[in-house]
Chains A and B, each alone.
Chain A
Amino acid sequence: MIMTIVKNKVDAVIVGMGWTGAIMAKELTDAGLNVVCLERGPDRDTQPDFAYPRVVDELEGSVHRKYLQSLNKETVTIRHGVNDAAVPYRQMGSFKPGTGVGGAGSHWSGCHFRALPEDFKVRSNIEQRYGKKFIPKEMTIQDFPVTYEELEPHFDHFEYVCGTSGKAGVINGKVVEGGNPFEGSRAREFALPPNPNYLGGELFYKAAREMGYHPYPIPASNASGPYVNPYGCQMGPCNFCGFCSDYGCLNYSKASPNACILPVLRGRKGFELRTLAQVMKVNLTADKKKATGVTYLDAQGRETEQPADIVLLCAFSLFNVHLMLLSGIGVPYDPVSNTGTIGRNYSYQNLNRVSLFFDETVQANQFMGIGGGGTTIDDLNGNRNDSAKTGFIGGGIVWARQPGGGPVRGIATAPGVPNWGSGWKKGVKEAFRHSFYYEVQGSCMAYQDAYLSLDPTYKDAFGRPLLRMTFDWHDNEIKASQYLVEKASDMCKVLGPKAIKGDAKKDGDHYNVTQYQSTHTCGGAIMGSDPKTSALNRYLQSWDVSNVFAPGANAFPQNNGYNPTGMVGALTYWCAKAVRELYLKNPGPLVQA
């Protein structure tokens, strides 16, 4: 007989210690709550885990993937269509979830955008501009149940927590020179000015202006100078070490839960962090209307119950959805009848690259890098994309970004260079210091046949069904890819490179999980204004189990052209405010269904 250890009840239990978990823990302990955080991975901090020189070992970081989730315990299965059998995501490829304290927030790059005001109302905006019939029936896009204006203070606060370095384009409704003239209005400038620019990012200004575009610095949560955030956490100027994505920051420059929030949480009264604690499920009352806490396996593998008044699902987006499905929270989505909510509207990111190769006089130095820095344009994003003309809904940004590349992470070579032998050696030698790339980061709409569910065959290391992802590219995204890559290539030609290599999606292309594209896996437990078509209400509260909140990219009804972290942080502060100011006073549904 298995004896379950039962812990003392707490006010709130948090599942996962990445950005959303750290923000929630800070906000709720500020409000005087007793909070326990359960993190499946190990504890991590700048010292010793991200300390130089050990952290910059490319073999450990980018081959052994030391800072990412190991797939041997938990992964997903993937299939293209609702009638296919899914197979496991056995090796890390298309997306890279994190683990441990900091989560994906410790190994991200640092691109820190806000969504555009029109990104919040994609459906009504398109219907207004082009009529209701313009949106294909199978495209299940929805408006966010919050507005840009409501989130603005939270975008702002999160940027100041992160020491985000950039240039405002619109402050209090007035366009400011040097920033993005198309952005939603800000209350003030960024926390720090933009970082210095590398060659490719500088040339991007030239190319973009030649095309009549409006280039601006990518908002980077990589500090451009010494900085102390509102919590008193110190950050140092980014030194362009070139180890952002896949790695923890050695320099307290890249914003992370570890550097920007945990220093004030550790040791705080009312905060307890338990690592190597694998949450198995959320426990519900018999009527499934309330959560009583969670069951987890402690570091020794013992089944342990943590009772709590509030359960905050703060795992990586995919695993939030997994836990909801495993726990019986809400009704699983059925793509045939288009009913149910958990798993609905899974979306991704439409990422495409154009590489530029120059001769040896051009010092591109791709080993120098900053994850979030560089240059971008919004001229093809949001309302600048005239869908009637381009034939696709959504948009995207084109950017010059150089997160830093070492040879183990791969050296892109010019067209025609072989993969081995003397020809390859010559090719990598010519390319390594004299090439850079631009990327197109496109939005990804939601569809009736793109969703998350439990796999009928494959199990994780704990015996639970794996999460199953059903996803493929649709014509809308393929068209967008071709259009945006063509525009990016036109920009590249202005710079006169020796060679250009682009990778636009071709008609009929299918989702390929073997190539890294983006860790921006979104949706599956989306926020909305209708409990029939969304898992969460406007406060990220479960419609079905009112003491469960699930902040994260899982809440996006569809994905826009930006990196999600800025939006995820803002939504989490918005959610925390609702818990503090509304829920605690009157526990129960914050929006009547």
Chain B
Amino acid sequence: MATSQTTPETALTFDLRSDTVRELNQALHGPDARGLIRVVNPDGRHAIAVGIDADCEVEIDGHVGYYCAGMNQRATVRVRGNCGVGVAENMMSGTVVVEGSASQAAGATARGGLLVIHGDASARCGISLKGADIVVRGSVGHMSAFMAQRGALVVCGDAGEALGDSLYEARLYVRGAVGGLGADCIEKEMREEHLTQLRELLAAADVNADPSEFTRYGSARQLYNFNIDNVGVY
């Protein structure tokens, strides 16, 4: 995780009412992508802070549109507002923190890193998750973790209908009620290794919750051709 020597007063700042999203993203893809970078007046624009591959911190003051912080690598991106569709989609590493709520498909296909959503996430949160971890302090909508392959989805509130439909090997932890389990998703025993993982994820997300209050869900492994001899590759 990046450590910033920059103060908010001296940080490189982009005002999206005068600077374009393209100018911002080009700067984030170049040598200026270090320390703290501030983005003000995002006004729901799409594709803010996408494709970063640098040890920097980006703070966005306000609500953002679609695909914010998509494909992120190494950077820490904090949104002081709500996010549109597909926040941190296909994230590879780093951390994305949403202080408000996120729309659909948050963290879709993300391969690594940590996505923290302090509000709610709507439908299809963590769809096709491929290795990243997602912690949602609120609730998630229907079809969350659909076809999720690796990584973990932690939900401190409730989950909507068809949780974990067609699930592969991602781990799902839900503290509240589940509207219904999707095909091949079942409740599973919470062993010590899971409590440890959950404790670490909650700590990393700076979310105060008791791991013992969560239920673990995972794949029944009836729907996809799981072969125990191949377990090492998952």
- Chain A partners chain B: no
Binding site for B on A (CB under 8 A): none
Binding site for A on B (CB under 8 A): none
